[in-house]
Structure 1
Amino acid sequence: MKLLFRLLTLLFFTLTTLSANAQAPILTADAAILIDARTGQVLYEKNADKRESPASMTKMMTCILALERGNPLKTIAVSANAANVESTELCGGEWIRLGDLTYQMMLISDNGAATAIAEAIGGNVNHFASMMNEKARAIGAVGTHFVNANGMPDEDHYSTARDMAKIAQYGLRNKEFRQIVSTKSKQVHYERPSKNLPCTNTNHLLFTYDGAIGVKTGYTRAAQGCLAAAATRNGRTLIAVIMHAGWGSRFTEAAALLDHGFEMKK
């Protein structure tokens, strides 16, 4: 009888351990990480400290500084420099409030909007990049170095999956940040000339993944597909970061990582 009890006890703990350490998904991404947003506990990692190009995930930091250092009601005149950046809907001479510009940057990943925010808050892109780096160090993202506000390719512009997760985690503590990155679509209003620009979020998981609340996509030829994805289920929020993956597989692999995390026992 004692032997049977011991065998049953051993079986119970074996099954519990297997459940807690459910098989992690196989990822094609070059680097990835999954963390608990509340505690920062790492639930999965792959090359999490490898230096990678963050592409437009950079804009998470730009958004953080826009919210902490800027006035959303301030009207900004779009410079020719911002309007001439690759992949933007801006035109020189337009006037738009900082709050609307931040939505445009985060929802459709507008590179010119990020540049305009940098100029409005930092005076110029170089000084704003210094502000970004200072904030990154304060957050603990010590493997990161920014040279621009939008994530356009540059050898000196880099981060890691771990750092991107820390930046996303920090941002999600801000109510306004959470509101922006969870917005599926919005009509962004321009003051002069008066018009509305329809913006649909590039984060497909907001439309397809149960509990998705953000955060930011990224893609360049150098960086390939990147994604910082967050979701909340049963009061628990997880953050998955995918770097250097396929354009579409970044979404499926982030979803698989999140599923893996939610299936694990706390």
Structure 2
Amino acid sequence: MKKNADKREYPASMTKVMTLLLSLEKNHPGHIVSVSHHAADVESTSLHTGEWIAVDQLNYLMMLRSDNGAATALGEYIGGNISGFAQMMNDKAHALGATNTHFVNANGMPDENHYSTARDMSVIVRYGMSLSAFRKIVSTKSCGITFTRPQTTRLLYNTNKLLFTYDGAIGVKTGWTKAAKGCLASAATRNNITLIAIVMHSATAESRFTESAALLDYGFAKAQSETQNNRSNTIGSGRRKIKAA
């Protein structure tokens, strides 16, 4: 089921899916990042200038808490600066086939030149879910992360409510700004079938969850119906063959 699949919208923090993909692709989980003033100064971050934290810990902070500073710190570390990282994001998106997407930052803060579509986001998320390291992070409900300097530990809880309420939920990423409204990339597995749903510009922060659950319910019901029809056709074909023999 799809509606306005190719309409450009602000992706909000679903942007961080791409930031995580590039972080994992560079494969430097143990490298230590020094938090810049810029990363510590963005809206909705718990980071402070001068803190030291490993890349893999930033990945969890970014994806579970949706920390904008964590995404910025990763972008600066991987790309040298946010402009360079945004180019890497766009190159990766286009390589995956998400050609109606353009990023200008690592965290999804509103910008008229920062946009995507539900179809493109599904392409990006689908690729992410093919990677075991990605799946592990986005399916984590809660965890503690450790800072190298100062040596502290913080407990994180995932902002994706479906992980706690929807049977079979395995990720992926929430998003919300006043401009983007409610966004959610969700995924769930039932009976060896995995589905991905993308909701953008939902009216409220809560409705993104109910709409995503409804989409997943629809998809699983359709998959079950198609499986039953295939079984019926197989049995019917077998009977006809027996009669013909």
TM-score, normalised on structure 2?
Answer: 0.90
Distance 2:50 2:62 in 1: 18
Deviation at 1:197, TM superposition (A): 1.1
Amino acid at match of 1:165: S
The aligned counterpart of 1:260 is 218
Instruction: Answer yes or no: is the 8 Å Cα contact 1:76–1:96 preserved in 2.
Output: yes
Please list the CA deviations of residues 232-263 of structure 1 after superposition, one character each: whole Å capped at 9, or x if unmatched.
Answer: 00000000000000210100010000000000
Amino acid at match of 2:2: E
Picking from 236, 247, 251, the partner of 2:209 is 251
Higher relative helix content: 2
Q: How does 1:110-189 map to 2 (within 5 A)?
A: 110-189=67-146
Q: Kindly report the root-mean-square deviation, in angstroms, between the aligned alpha carbons of the 2 structures.
A: 0.6
Please list the CA deviations of residues 189-233 of structure 1 after superposition, one character each: whole Å capped at 9, or x if unmatched.
Answer: 100000011110000000000000000000000000000000000
Distance 2:27 2:52 in 1: 16
Query: What is the percentage of aligned positions where both structures have the same residue?
Result: 63
Please list the CA deviations of residues 121-143 of structure 1 after superposition, one character each: whole Å capped at 9, or x if unmatched.
Answer: 00000000000000000110000
The aligned counterpart of 1:5 is none
SS at match of 2:149: coil
Q: How does 1:13-32 map to 2 (within 5 A)?
A: none
Distance 1:151 1:188 in 2: 23
Distance 1:50 1:182 in 2: 28
1:212 and 2:169 are equivalent in the alignment: yes
SS at match of 2:115: coil
Higher-RCO chain (CA-CA 8 Å, sequence separation at least 6): 1
Deviation at 1:69, TM superposition (A): 1.4
Instruction: Answer yes or no: is the 8 Å Cα contact 1:108–1:199 preserved in 2.
Output: yes
TM-score, normalised on structure 1?
Answer: 0.83
1:190 and 2:147 are equivalent in the alignment: yes
Instruction: Answer yes or no: is the 8 Å Cα contact 1:88–1:110 preserved in 2.
Output: yes
Deviation at 1:70, TM superposition (A): 3.8
The aligned counterpart of 1:77 is 34
Count of matched residue positions in the alignment of Structure 1 and Structure 2: 223
Distance 1:73 1:151 in 2: 25
Q: Where does the alignment leave 5 or more consecutive residues of structure 2 unmatched?
A: 227-245
Please list the CA deviations of residues 142-175 of structure 1 after superposition, one character each: whole Å capped at 9, or x if unmatched.
Answer: 0000000000000000000001111110000010
Please list the CA deviations of residues 14-56 of structure 1 after superposition, one character each: whole Å capped at 9, or x if unmatched.
Answer: xxxxxxxxxxxxxxxxxxxxxxxxxxxxxx1000000000000
The aligned counterpart of 2:178 is 221
Distance 2:27 2:61 in 1: 16
Distance 1:226 1:119 in 2: 25
Please list the CA deviations of residues 83-126 of structure 1 after superposition, one character each: whole Å capped at 9, or x if unmatched.
Answer: 00110010000000000000000001000000000011000000
Amino acid at match of 1:91: H
Distance 2:10 2:76 in 1: 23
Distance 2:20 2:130 in 1: 13
Distance 1:112 1:232 in 2: 31
1:58 and 2:15 are equivalent in the alignment: yes
Instruction: Answer yes or no: is the 8 Å Cα contact 1:217–1:227 preserved in 2.
Output: yes
Q: Where does the alignment leave 5 or more consecutive residues of structure 1 unmatched?
A: 1-43
Amino acid at match of 1:229: S
SS at match of 1:57: helix
Distance 1:87 1:61 in 2: 19
Amino acid at match of 1:184: K
